[in-house]
Amino acid sequence: MMLRFYFSFRIFIRVLILLPTLAKSQAPPEIQLANIYHSEIKLEAYWLSEKLDGVRAYWNGEKLISKQGLVYQAPVWFTENFPDFPLDGELWIARNRFDVLSGIVRKRQPIDEEWQRVTYQIFDLPKHKGVFDVRLTFLQDYFKANDRPAWLKLIKQTKVANHQTLMTLLDEVVAQGAEGLMLHLGRAYYHNKRNDDLLKVKRYFDAEAKVIRHIPGKGKYQTMLGSMWVKALNKEQKGKLFKLGTGFSDEQRRHPPSVGSVITYKYFGLTSKGLPRFGSFMRVRDHY
């Protein structure tokens, strides 16, 4: 009897501990996912925008939610004048500021001074029933006709004539610190799947891997991380082990991603053995 009471009490305490965390979670939003650009598509049918190196955020009319369904604890003033209909976009500060941004939006207690640096950049209307051409017109009209917070912004969408022009634009924005470009098919409806209706345009590929083991550094990196063994998680190389030794800042080498964590790396095609060519660490995956 006492043993049964003991286990019931333990379960009760665990539930009490978990409740605050569970209250901050939502069902993962049904968001559109991107494929990789290929030159066979008809570019005249697409809209072009910059690929921002921010964190994806879904506004459900009440809260900002991550891809995994966790709620960003934004200050009340940040979202109080947002529209009551869903939006899809990126929380963003500036080019090459992802780590700073991630540190700000992950906090359970938001800091006003930090959030004053953040913008919410909108690129789509998840619940609108029209094609992207119609959704974009709706957004453009809304942003012209309504008072809105200065940090709520619409990502600029333009047209591009051909592949050569697209590659020239890609090189220009990358040289300025951008991550790449995005292509959005004008006649496409919003849907929760990955296909050519939405495309990433980059000079490199990126994927995710699980950290397996740290390897100590040598020379100037003595007492710090030298490299690490990781296991690929993406479909093409899933399960393959390889080593990453570049892309880390000195701070990241002093405090490397923990074993078991998931990281994003970039690479330039595959070797004859199917391993990432010139693999380089980018960031710890944003669990939000």
Q: What is the pLDDT of residues 49-61, one digit of tens each?
A: 999 999 999 999 9
Please give the backbone phi and psi of residue 275, each rounded to the nearest 5 degrees, phi first: -95, 155
Token pair belonging to 143? 């942003």
Taking the C-alpha atoms of residue 141 and residue 150, their distance in angstroms, rounded to an integer, is 16
Confidence of residue 3 (pLDDT cuts 50, 70, 90): very low
Is the confidence at residue 288, as pLDDT, over 80? no
Q: Higher confidence at residue 205 or residue 124? A: 124
Taking the C-alpha atoms of residue 249 and residue 98, their distance in angstroms, rounded to an integer, is 14
Is the confidence at residue 21, as pLDDT, over 70? no
Query: What pLDDT is attached to residue 247?
Result: 93
Q: Higher confidence at residue 241 or residue 277? A: 241
Domain with CATH 2.40.50.140 in the chain: 205-284
The structure's pTM equals 0.75
The answer to whether the CB of 184 falls within 8 A of the CB of 32 is: no
- Bridge-based pairing state of the strands 194-201 and 241-244: unpaired
Residue with tokens 């690490």: 228
- Give the 3-state secondary structure of residue 115: helix
For 258, residues 6+ apart whose C-beta sits below 8 A from its C-beta are 211
Is the confidence at residue 130, as pLDDT, over 60? yes
Query: What pLDDT is attached to residue 31?
Result: 93
Query: What pLDDT is attached to residue 99?
Result: 86
Mean pLDDT in the chain?
A: 88
Taking the C-alpha atoms of residue 197 and residue 96, their distance in angstroms, rounded to an integer, is 27
pLDDT above 90 coverage of the chain, percent: 71
Query: What pLDDT is attached to residue 25?
Result: 64
- Give the 3-state secondary structure of residue 38: coil
Is the confidence at residue 18, as pLDDT, over 70? no
Is the confidence at residue 193, as pLDDT, over 90? no
Domain with CATH 3.30.470.30 in the chain: 33-201
Q: CATH for 205-284?
A: 2.40.50.140
Q: Which of 40-54, 167-181, 263-277 has the lowest mean pLDDT?
A: 263-277
CA atoms within 13 A on the CB side of 36: 7
Average pLDDT rounded to a whole number, residues 8-36: 60
| Per-residue DSSP letter, 94 | S
- Give the 3-state secondary structure of residue 27: coil
Is the confidence at residue 4, as pLDDT, over 60? no
Is the confidence at residue 27, as pLDDT, over 80? yes
- CA 244 from centre of chain: 21
CA atoms within 13 A on the CB side of 254: 3
Q: CATH for 33-201?
A: 3.30.470.30
DSSP string for 213-263 = EEEE--GGGTTSEEEEEEEE-STTTTT-EEEE-SS--HHHHHSPPPTT-EE
Is the confidence at residue 126, as pLDDT, over 90? yes
Query: What pLDDT is attached to residue 73?
Result: 96
Confidence of residue 230 (pLDDT cuts 50, 70, 90): very high
Question: Which DSSP helix (H) or strand (E) runs through 56?
Answer: strand 55-59
Backbone CA torsion sign across 100, 106, 109, 110: positive
Average pLDDT rounded to a whole number, residues 89-103: 93
Query: What pLDDT is attached to residue 24?
Result: 58
Task: Name which of 116, 108, 72 is nearest 90 in CA terms.
Answer: 72
Average pLDDT rounded to a whole number, residues 156-165: 95
Token pair belonging to 208? 């995710």
Angle of CA points 71, 67, 156, to nearest 5°: 100
Largest alpha-carbon pair distance within the chain? 77
Query: What pLDDT is attached to residue 274?
Result: 85
| Per-residue DSSP letter, 275 | P
Is the confidence at residue 20, as pLDDT, over 70? no
